Amino acid sequence: MRCITLLVCLCLAVPAWAGRMDKKTSDFVAANMVSIYYHELGHALIDIMKLPIYGQEEDAADVLSAVLIHDFFKEETAVRIAYATAFGFLGDRDITKAEKKEVDYWDVHGPDLQRYYTFVCLFYGANPAERLAIARDLNLPEGRLSTCEDEFRLANNSWGPVIKKLTAAGAGRTIRFLADHRVDNYGKLALDVIEAEVGSMNKDMSLPKRLLVRVEPCGTVNAFYDPKIREIIMCTEFAKWLAEVSP
Ligand SMILES: [Zn+2]
């Protein structure tokens, strides 16, 4: 379990401009940048370590993100990140209202609501003794609650040995961070959070090959892993969008 808390990340990111973004919003953006980074790291590890994926790669990346949020953080911080991540999947949708939205069934990602419920289920299933109220608060139906412990066990059996292998390799500098500093306030927040996250990971683990993580404007709301150049690109526009949909 990592000692660094999200607050530590945010402390790094509270310069003069912080007054323009309230703490709740900046916490929401920071937490989502962390969980999105973990998702992209899933794609990177699948590529670098040639991991077999018997299903949709996007789902496997989501599962790694849930496992790492549970593994890396103390309970209180993990819960805060989990709430933000769940609401990040919802975007501007209100789960308590029966809103009908067009679903892109052709997309490589699962539908947003399915990703939301699966994330909540995995997070609950990782510590059911303490997280039942959270699962209920996040509207996980009773019908799904019963399978979550087994779902997390399977997730942990799949990703656990991979994480163990990386941490067994010890500290290193295999994840390199690169940022375009000519960014807006949202970009600065994303940049500080991801830089701190990369630093923490390098203290905990080493990857078999070098991975570059860039935070930069891309002209679109996105984050992705490019296997051709072995780079994770976190677009600063994503941070701005998250601030806009922050609940
Ligand atoms: Zn993905």
The predicted pLDDT at position 48 comes to 97
Quote the tokens at residue 118: 């699966």
Report the separation in Å between the CA atom of 224 and the middle of ligand 1, taken as the mean of its atom positions.
Answer: 6
Report the separation in Å between the CA atom of 238 and the middle of ligand 1, taken as the mean of its atom positions.
Answer: 14
**pLDDT interval class at 5 (50, 70, 90):** very low
Average pLDDT value for residue range 136-161: 96
Report the separation in Å between the CA atom of 19 and the middle of ligand 1, taken as the mean of its atom positions.
Answer: 32
Q: How far is CA 171 from the centre of its chain?
A: 22
Report the separation in Å between the CA atom of 44 and the middle of ligand 1, taken as the mean of its atom positions.
Answer: 10
Report the separation in Å between the CA atom of 222 and the middle of ligand 1, taken as the mean of its atom positions.
Answer: 10
**CB contact at 8 A, 233 and 224:** yes
Res 98 pLDDT > 80? no
Res 237 pLDDT > 80? yes
- pLDDT per residue as tens digits for the range 29-78: 999 999 999 999 999 999 999 999 999 999 999 999 999 999 999 999 99
Average pLDDT value for residue range 110-122: 92
Report the separation in Å between the CA atom of 225 and the middle of ligand 1, taken as the mean of its atom positions.
Answer: 8
- Which residues touch 244 (CB under 8 Å, ≥6 apart)? 92
Res 27 pLDDT > 90? yes
**pLDDT interval class at 4 (50, 70, 90):** very low
- pLDDT per residue as tens digits for the range 8-23: 444 344 444 544 788 8
Report the separation in Å between the CA atom of 226 and the middle of ligand 1, taken as the mean of its atom positions.
Answer: 11
- pLDDT per residue as tens digits for the range 177-206: 998 888 888 999 999 999 999 999 999 999
Report the separation in Å between the CA atom of 20 and the middle of ligand 1, taken as the mean of its atom positions.
Answer: 30
- Amino acid in position 224: F
